[in-house]
Structure 1
């Protein structure tokens, strides 16, 4: 069977849950710290004195998150790599080379898994570095703003604190912008990074297995709802070697006729470029729907085109947008300092969940993914 990033998609769920739970715990910790002694005339002084306790609590949560995540990521990478190898076995099982691959008892390549684990650690290091600083900074900002507003008679301390906390919850605990200009909250970025690295593990397990039996070409599927990055590579043949750019190869037919004097059959194969080149151009990005299969000259045929009438790539992006709104209001719900704010946020959650049902029902090719709407156990 072909290998696809979707093959490892479920492996990111556990890591996302860890980050979701940590984010909710951090928001609730800030809300509780702000609410304590809120009616005291010495509230600002008490908040300033409690920053050390808050910092320690946040660091404890961040350390536990990093430790749990490292173990979950390592396990996910091993599983994804194995799935990639097993996909190659299943794909070529009817051929002699497939039986040869099945006979090999090879454990997941430690160098490959270690390299990907290191990549994941590098990608998520900014999150751990930002957690404590981000929480303490917003705590100081809220207390300073709330105290100033009360002195000016602009609002009550609770209202000012809740308004600032809502803004913080909207963007997430470690909201930041990446090098491509995209905004991320902590859990979404972690999930994206894990999905990306486990997809790479599955693909590397697959191509490592193919390389062992000297299969040097792969073919990209034609998937529905493709994005502009992937569209140029649909149905194309790619080399696992280093030669980039379009070129034509003359190769032996994968199934040669038997007999002493049977002539060697060859076929012309047009190659669109290298797998490395295609991935650098965006193929197999997070949420990519394409798969990759072994290409055997003279045997493998190009995949049929998958039309998706009534649904577009933009429709899938609208679904992602609605998921972000649901998560945002669930964070607001977790950060609520009183029942009124909590009910308001809960109503908004239900409003966007209704919008999701309408959107999914209007497009037969879309499926709702409840796990992507969660930020942990909301109060």
Structure 2
């Protein structure tokens, strides 16, 4: 049986990433970026990729990466979630990378090394709301080029290359400067979505079996998104407890009121359960367990509502200050709400779980 506790190496990695984010990802800067035309932080991305080599954790050393596992990536995503970091880490270093790992050939290997270095950002051209095994839209492939339109593509505005499924069953690589990327209105401004229009964009075949590559990528995305949701929920709980200890009413700390103690105790219990589910999903992905699909479905079904509730409680219990634009809690609520439909809703994962364990869904 796997040990789901954090290893010394994982805790050291956490400390290093947290220190980096403290220097490069302060809340006022993140809020300012949401008001600008450049929601992503190139400085933070460079520090994560070139400075620490974190964008290549899932890539084997023989392919130019770090040869780590999903457990280490989960630790990184926890910290990125705690900071609501405006970087395309999940979409490029996890989802796009996993899709390329399912491909063979020189082009896939070249792109894999480029993504591992962080100098190239990749995005899988599948709508953010599609979960593992879900139905997604594809574009038409004709005479070596792609034609069509896809919507809801996460981090397409930051991508240098798009991995695009086509109607002929293949997965193709398309340079971002060969397509038209139109930003769409997004609740979470730190992870923007966009419409991508293909008008005869030159395409390079990566694999003739796009469904297998897409499913692998979306499963990893869903399983590791739980760690980001854990980071969001943990920050929300920690900051709320800290605030309630300092805020006084009737000359006593607000956190001393029994009704609030009960709410925070329940939230703490749910966050602890989310951590267990997140660790199980990451470990299952890392070890290639036969129960990976079950672990991912359980984790996503549980974590999504917990992250949203934690952020909602943080917003409410911070009182008037929580309603201000200057306080970062609104970033966490928006990310939690957006994450709750990313890579499949909790309901979709419960339905998938019911099929996996041969138990009829309610």
TM-score normalised over the length of structure 1:
0.29
Answer with 1 or 2: which has the greater Rg.
Answer: 1
TM-score normalised over the length of structure 2:
0.29
